[in-house]
């Protein structure tokens, strides 16, 4: 039980509290205590979206994904008929639950549809928590009436709290962008990819905007921006069966509709959306289980972008590199090892490595003038930058990760439910 766990706030948590976020027109939220698994806390959230809202989604690529994900995939991209809703529970992932899982998704969908008067095809469900146990969906469906009564434009923070599992703090980010003299608002919430007491990491992200954007264009933007944000973070390289990222655009802003990727309004909106997504992605890493370091890995000079990403991910996922970060050890030999094993084209003698601004290695050997004490002092920072230049071409990639501590092992070895 998470209640057994020592209370621990990530040392990388943004000091204090949930940010003040813009109120996105056409979005109302509520959260409630349904007792799905956890006791004494809210564990179900509901979002109602104005009629005409367009919904874009990006989902886990796992071959064993959960029923709620399958259901969302089927519904994403259908025409925006009537309003829409998102219902999320924590405590149970409804994954690997056989035919019971599908039945639960349908029961919740039907109940939300009836209560809010919207088509079932417009109800999006996500579940996070323990795997392989039947979701007690009646506990959720019997609360939907009460949830609907509580819906409020100000419910985002309690929604962020309701979707937490072993996250140490609720995660939110937002911004406002001006288009043709009118404001477009964006606000989102996320839960982290900690490896989590109940079971496996499940990253859930819900972003709302009052921009007016047709579904295909909204989907295209979301896919484009997922690459450099949520797909560029890693806590441990394990992929959840339930990862879900939904972007809902209500069209309630007075700003004109965004109709093409190339017009200036689209570019301003994309930039703002990118900022919100990156902020949430970074928060997920900062709250990675047991994390004490937030690390940016920048790879330059690769033969191509794919190679740059391979190298960056090989470094970011190497247990050897991550334990060195935890030990505040400027162990650049392990970076060389990770470059070597990545499968990308690399030439040992053209490689250079920097920790922050400190040139550590170049020309196939330790850099002249490299001072271990200076590098060791740098490693004591809670935020680290590692830059690797392969010296081969123009391929670049940046990813973010955290360190790998004994606390991570303790959380995942000693706790399940």
Q: How many residues does the chain have?
A: 417
Residues near its own copies (CB under 8 A) are 60-65, 95-100, 130-133, 195, 199-201, 236-241, 318-320, 323-324, 326-327, 329, 331-334, 336-342, 344-349, 351, 361, 363-366, 404-406, 408-410, 412-416
163, 165, 171, 233: which is closest to 200 by C-alpha? 165
* Residue 202 designated active-site: yes
Nearer CB in complex with its own copies: 195/246: 195
Helices marked H in 192-326 — which ranges? Answer: 215-226, 264-286, 305-317, 319-326
Collapse the DSSP code of 23 into the 3-class scheme (helix H, G, I; strand E, B; otherwise coil) and give the result.
Answer: coil
Catalytic entry in 202, 250, 401, 405? 202
Spatial contact of 390 and 303, defined as CB atoms under 8 Å apart: yes
Nearer CB in complex with its own copies: 132/153: 132
Cβ burial, residue 256 (10 Å; 0-12/13-18/19+): middle
* Minimal distance, residue 204 CB to its own copies, in Å: 16
* Minimal distance, residue 113 CB to its own copies, in Å: 26
* Minimal distance, residue 10 CB to its own copies, in Å: 17
322, 10, 319, 326: which is closest to 164 by C-alpha? 10
Nearer CB in complex with its own copies: 61/260: 61
- Cα separation, 223 vs 56, whole angstroms: 9
* Minimal distance, residue 335 CB to its own copies, in Å: 10
CA angle 177, 122, 82 (to 5 degrees): 75
* Minimal distance, residue 89 CB to its own copies, in Å: 17
First to last CA, the chain: 5
* Minimal distance, residue 321 CB to its own copies, in Å: 8
Nearer CB in complex with its own copies: 18/415: 415
Nearer CB in complex with its own copies: 131/186: 131
Nearer CB in complex with its own copies: 143/334: 334
Measure Cα distances from 182 to 50, 225, 257, 262 in Å.
19, 23, 11, 19
State the DSSP H helix or E strand holding residue 301, giving kind and residue range, or none if neither. strand 294-302
Give me the active site residues, please.
Answer: 202
């Amino acid at each position: 039980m998470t209640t057994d766990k020592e209370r621990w706030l990530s040392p990388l948590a943004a000091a204090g509290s949930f940010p003040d976020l813009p109120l996105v027109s056409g979005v109302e939220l509520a959260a409630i205590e349904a007792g799905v698994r956890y006791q004494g806390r809210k564990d179900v959230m509901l979002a109602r979206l104005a009629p005409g809202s367009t919904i874009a989604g990006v989902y886990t690529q796992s071959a064993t994904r959960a029923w709620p994900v399958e259901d969302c995939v089927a519904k994403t991209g259908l025409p925006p008929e009537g309003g829409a809703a998102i219902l999320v529970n924590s405590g149970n992932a409804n994954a690997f639950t056989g035919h019971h899982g599908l039945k639960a998704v349908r029961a919740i969908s039907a109940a939300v549809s009836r209560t809010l008067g919207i088509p079932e095809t417009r109800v999006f469900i996500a579940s996070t928590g323990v795997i392989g146990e039947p979701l007690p969906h009646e506990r959720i469906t019997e609360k939907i009436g009460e949830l609907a009564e509580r819906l409020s434009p100000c419910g985002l923070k309690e929604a962020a709290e309701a979707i937490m599992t072993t996250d140490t703090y609720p995660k939110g980010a937002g911004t406002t962008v001006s288009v043709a003299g009118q404001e477009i608002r964006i606000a989102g919430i996320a839960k982290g990819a900690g490896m989590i007491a109940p079971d496996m990491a499940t990253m859930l992200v819900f972003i709302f905007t009052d921009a007016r954007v047709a579904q295909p264009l909204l989907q295209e933007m979301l896919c484009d921006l997922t690459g450099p944000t949520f797909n560029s973070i890693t806590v441990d390289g394990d992929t959840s069966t339930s990862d879900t990222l939904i972007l809902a655009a209500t069209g309630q802003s007075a700003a004109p509709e965004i109709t093409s990727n190339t017009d200036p309004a689209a570019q301003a909106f994309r930039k703002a959306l990118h900022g919100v997504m990156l902020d949430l992605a970074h928060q997920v890493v900062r709250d990675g289980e047991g994390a004490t370091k937030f690390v940016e890995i920048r790879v330059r000079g690769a033969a191509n972008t794919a190679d740059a990403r391979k190298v960056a991910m090989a470094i970011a996922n190497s247990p050897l590199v991550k334990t060195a970060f935890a030990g505040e050890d400027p162990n650049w030999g392990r970076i060389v090892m990770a470059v070597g094993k990545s499968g990308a084209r690399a030439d040992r003698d053209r490689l250079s490595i920097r920790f922050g601004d400190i040139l550590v290695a170049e020309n196939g050997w330790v850099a002249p003038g490299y001072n271990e004490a200076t590098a060791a002092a740098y490693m004591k920072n809670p935020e680290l930058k590692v830059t690797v230049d392969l010296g081969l071409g123009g391929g670049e990639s940046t990813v973010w990760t955290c360190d790998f501590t004994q606390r991570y092992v303790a959380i995942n070895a000693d706790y399940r439910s």
